[in-house]
Amino acid sequence: MKKVVVVDFGGQYTHLISNRIRTLGVFSEVVSPETFDPLSEKNLVGIIFSGGPHSVLETGHPCINFDLHNCPVPILGLCYGHQLLAQLSGGKVETGGKREYGSAEINITEKSRLFDGLGKSQSVWMSHGDHVSELPAGFRITASSPSLSIAAFESDSGKFFGVQFHPEVSHTPNGLKMLDRFLSICTQTREWTTEARRRQIVEKTKHEAMNRNLLLFLSGGVDSLVALAVCIEAVGKERVFSIHVDTGLMREGESEEIVRHISSLGYSNIELADACNLFLGRLAGIYDPEKKREIIGKTFVDVLNEKIAKYSSGTDWMLVQGTIYPDRIESGGSKSSAKIKTHHNRVPEIEKLIAQGRVLEPLCDLYKDEIRELGRELNLPEKLLQRHPFPGPGLGIRILASASSEAEDGYISEEPELDEICKTFSFKSRILPVKSVGVQGDGRTFLHPAALWCEDSNEFSWQKLGDCAVKIVNSLKTVNRVVFSPFARLDTVRLKASDVNQSRADLLRKVDQLVRSMTEDMSEIWQLPVISLPAVDENNNWIFVIRPVTSTNAMTADFFKMPQNRLREILREAIKIPGVGKILYDITSKPPATIEWE
Ligand code: XMP
C-alpha cells in the first residue's frame, strides 16, 4: 500500500497529521528522524515534517538523517518542519518578536499548488515562537500574514512545501483540503478506508490477546466502551471481564448508570468495585497536579492487582486500556515531544506491565472522532457514543488543590500590561492566585490565569472576549489561560488552602450535575469540565470554573459561546447551592490552554 511518512520532531500534533492523511485515504506512519531513510522505504509517496517544541536555532535540535536533495518524493514541512526545511535548504530562521498562538489570517500571495482553488484569504491555526525570515534560493513565498511575511513557501522544483501554521488541526478550516492538495501531488491512489481500519484493529487485538483472558477497567467513557466492543468482537464476550471502579471522583450517579448501560447491551461480565475511601484517603494532603495523577494511576493499579487473582485463576491474562493517541502523545510519548501531563494510564506501574507485554491498547493509534466512527461500525448505540469524554482520573484533576492560603512568592494580582490590554476592550482584570496547565509552542506551561469582568454592563460580546483573550496570552508570557466572570467582580477572590476531599467532591458533583442538566440540549458542546478552584470569595464561598468547549479530537479546542440567557440562568441556579460563590467561564482555546485545568 502506498504511504506518506510523518517525520516526528516531537510536535503535539504529529499523530494527528498521520491521522488526517489516513482520513484522506492514504496510509500513513509516524517515524523517528534519527532512523528514517526515504531510500530504504517501500511504497513511499510523500514525506511530512511535523512541528515540535524545539527551535532549529538550538544546538543539537532534532534533524533528519538523510540528504534532502536525493529524496525521491515531495516533502511538506509544518511549523518546526517548515523552519527546518527552510534552514536545511539555505534559508534563515529567527526567533522572538512574532510569537503567535491561536487563530490568524493568511493571504495567498502567489499561485500555489497547496492552496489551489481555496480563496485569497484563509484562517489558520498558529502556535510558534520562531519564524522563517529569509527564503532559500529557488523558493518563493506563497502566503503571508499581517505579522509574518513568510507564512508559507514552495520550491520552484515543485518538491518542497512549507507552512508555518498547522493545516492538520480542525481550527484551520481548509487545512484538510491543503493536505489533500499535497496528497494529490504525491499520489493518484486512495486506498485506506474505515473498513480497512476496523479490520486491522480487530485482527491486531485478536493476535495480541492470543488465548489470554482480557481484563478491562471500564470508566464508562467512549474510549473504554469502544475498547470493550473491539475486545468482544476479537475474542468473544466469555473471555472479556470488566471492572468499573467507583473512585469517589465520579460524577453524580454515574457509576450505577454505567453498569446499567453495559448490562443493557447484553454483556454481564461486569463488576462495580467501590474504592472511594481508598482513593480519597491517598489524595488527602496532595497538592501537586502531577503527583495527584500518579497517585490516582497507582491506586487504579492496586485495585487491579487485587482483582487480577480473582479473574485470572488458572488462566493467563492481559490488561486492556482505552488509551487513545492524545493520551499517549501528551504523556511525552515520543523522543522529542515535551510532557504536557502524565495520563493515568502511563504511570510507572502501568509502564511495568507494558514492558511485561501485559497491556493491550486497541485504540492507541486513533483519535476521538475515529473512535466514535469505529463504535458505530461495531453497532454501539449512538447515545453512548455521543457521551462527553470524561478523564480517567475523574474529578481528581478538576478539584485543584493548594497547600497554602498565601499565594507563592512573586505572585502579584495586578499586571499593568494586562490592564492596558483590557482597558481597550473595557474589561476590568486581575491575575488569579491559582495555576493551570497549558500547551504552548508544543511545550507544557503551568501558569496563572488572567481573569476579566465588566464593571458596568450585563451584556457582553463573546467575540470581543475571545479577541481579548488571544491578545492577552500572546502578549503576556506569564499567562496561559483567561477566564471571564459574566456578572460578578473578582477583586475579592483569594486563595484558600485545601486538598481533594469528600466535601469538595460532593459540592463539585452538585455544580457539575446542575450545569450538565442545564446544557443537555446543546449538542455543539464537545466536553464541559467544571472545575473547583482552591479559592473563595468575600463570603468564604468557593469559586468554580465552567469550561464548555467545541472540538473534534481534543488536540485543539475552542471555548463554546453559550447563549447569554442560558448562562445567566445557570449562574443564577448555581449560586443558590450552599457553599458556591462565583462561577467563572473559561474563554481560552487549546492551545494555549489545555481542556482540563490540570
Ligand atoms: P487536555 O486537558 O489535555 O485533555 O486538553 C484532552 C482530553 O483528554 C482528557 N484527559 C484525560 N483522559 N486520562 C484520560 O483518560 C487523563 O489523565 C486525562 N487528562 C485529560 C480530557 O478530559 C480531554 O477530553
Q: Are 250 and 217 in contact (CB under 8 A)?
A: no
74 within ligand 1 shell (Cβ under 6 A): no
Q: Which residue owns the Cα nearest ligand 1 atom 19? A: 391
Q: 358: CA distance to ligand 1 center in Å?
A: 23
CB-ligand 1 contact for 221 (6 Å cutoff): no
Residue 401 and residue 435: Cα distance in Å, rounded?
Answer: 10
CB 297 near ligand 1, within 6 Å: no
Contacts of 74 (CB under 8 A, 6+ apart): 46, 47, 158, 159, 160, 161, 182, 185, 186
Mutate to test the pocket of ligand 1, among 343, 549, 555, 597 (most ligand atoms within 8 A of CB): 343
Task: Map out the domains of the chain with their CATH numbers.
Answer: 3-186 (3.40.50.880), 194-395 (3.40.50.620), 415-586 (3.30.300.10)
Q: Which atom of ligand 1 is nearest to the CA of 342?
A: 17
- Cα 2 to ligand 1 centroid, rounded to whole Å: 33
pLDDT (tens place) for every residue of the chain, 598 residues total: 899 999 999 988 888 899 899 889 998 988 999 999 999 999 999 999 999 999 999 999 999 999 999 999 999 999 999 999 999 999 999 987 666 778 899 999 999 999 999 999 999 998 878 999 999 999 999 999 988 999 999 999 999 999 999 999 988 999 999 999 999 999 999 988 888 888 989 999 999 999 999 999 888 889 999 999 999 999 999 999 999 999 999 999 999 988 888 888 888 899 999 999 999 999 999 999 999 999 998 998 899 888 877 777 777 899 999 988 767 766 655 556 666 666 667 777 788 889 999 999 999 878 787 899 999 999 998 888 988 988 889 999 999 999 999 998 889 999 999 999 999 999 999 999 999 999 887 788 999 999 999 987 678 999 999 999 999 999 999 999 999 998 899 999 999 999 999 999 999 999 999 999 999 999 999 999 999 999 999 999 999 999 999 998 788 899 999 999 999 999 999 999 999 999 999 999 999 999 999 9
Question: Distance (Å, rounded) from C-alpha 553 to C-alpha 75?
Answer: 26
Q: What pairing do the DSSP bridges indicate for beta strands 494-495 and 148-155?
A: unpaired
Provide the 10 A C-beta neighbour count for residue 287.
Answer: 17
Please tell me what DSSP assigns to residue 129.
S
Query: Does ligand 1 come within 6 angstroms of the Cβ of 2?
Result: no
Q: Is the CB of 554 under 6 A from ligand 1?
A: yes
Q: Which residue has a Cα nearest atom 7 of ligand 1?
A: 554
Strand order of the sheet with strand 160-163? 27-31, 3-7, 44-49, 75-78, 160-163, 148-155, 139-145, 100-108, 121-128
d(CA 454, CA 426): 7
Residue 493 Cα to ligand 1 midpoint, Å, equals 27
Active-site residues: which are they? 79, 166, 168
DSSP codes joined into one string, 49-74: E---SS-TTSTT----SS-GGG--S-
**154 pocket-lining for ligand 1 (C-beta < 6 Å):** no
Lookup result for grid cell 476531599 = 501
Residue 411's closest CA among 559, 535, 281?
A: 535
* Cis? peptide before 591, omega within 30° of 0: yes
Scan for cell 457553599, then name that residue: 579
